[in-house]
A = this chain, B = another copy of it.
Amino acid sequence: MQDRPSIPIGCLYGIGLGPGDPELVTVKASRLLAKLPHLFAPKADQVSLSIAKSIAAHHVGANVQFHETVYPMTRDPNVLRDSWRKAAAPVVAVLERGQDAGFITLGDPMLYSTFSYLMRAVRELLPNARVEIVPAVMSFAASAALTEFVLGEQKTQLTVAPAPDTEAGMSALIAQGGRLVMMKVGSRLPQLVDWLRASGHLAQTRLVVRAGLSGQRVITDLSRCDELDKVGYLSTLLVDLEPGEAL
């Protein structure tokens, strides 16, 4: 009688889906989506979840199982840690059965994604977990492509940041020079536009809403744009802080 052979644990893939267009998924992500039996998606909000699923749907196999991991909506570090362990448990269960699992995320898994939290929580529960991160097209790269906005040339610096909460925060970003990308714009857009007008940068600002998704809007003249308060969460502001420097 033989011992039951130990099952090698599965691999957790952190898969970036890119900005929204299913064709802007990488060949590697498409291949993994087609073969992975279990895909986890963060249920941060219903909009992002349904977008991630609809992008992945162009690539997944027939027998894929989707799981939703609940994103903890608190800033208390202890509650967060517990919540992430709870979210990681079903992922760990799949890996321990020897199956691979994918965690899908809009954009890139290392930039403003919940994947880094999930990865840490999985490692806490399963220290020898194998993890592979599949990088992706960042959403601001799609916004830059649509507006022909040069993100960096020669010695120019690029700053990527969540939209600031205060005018002082905006001033600090502007002071850094180069090119500035502000993500997660959402309902604060009218306020951000006011600050950019006050600092004299509105003419060098582009706005892209839902790049590559249905309802995409590209706004190159924000001074003439109404209904700024109706722009959704998936919006990006691109500001050239040193116009006229290019060749």
Contact = CB atoms under 8 A, between A and B. Distances in A.
A247 B137 CA distance: 25
Interface in A138-159: 138, 141-142, 144-146, 148-159
A81 interface: yes
Interface string A120-138: 1000000000010111111
Contact of A158 (B18, B135, B145, B161): B161
Size class of the contact patch on chain A: 35 or more
Contacts of A116: 150, 153, 246
A247 B31 contact: no
A151 B120 contact: no
A27 B25 contact: yes
A180 to B, nearest CB: 10
B27 A24 contact: yes
B26 A25 contact: yes
Interface of A: 14, 16, 18-19, 21-28, 30-31, 77, 80-81, 84, 108-112, 116-117, 119-120, 131, 133-138, 141-142, 144-146, 148-162, 173, 176, 178, 246-247
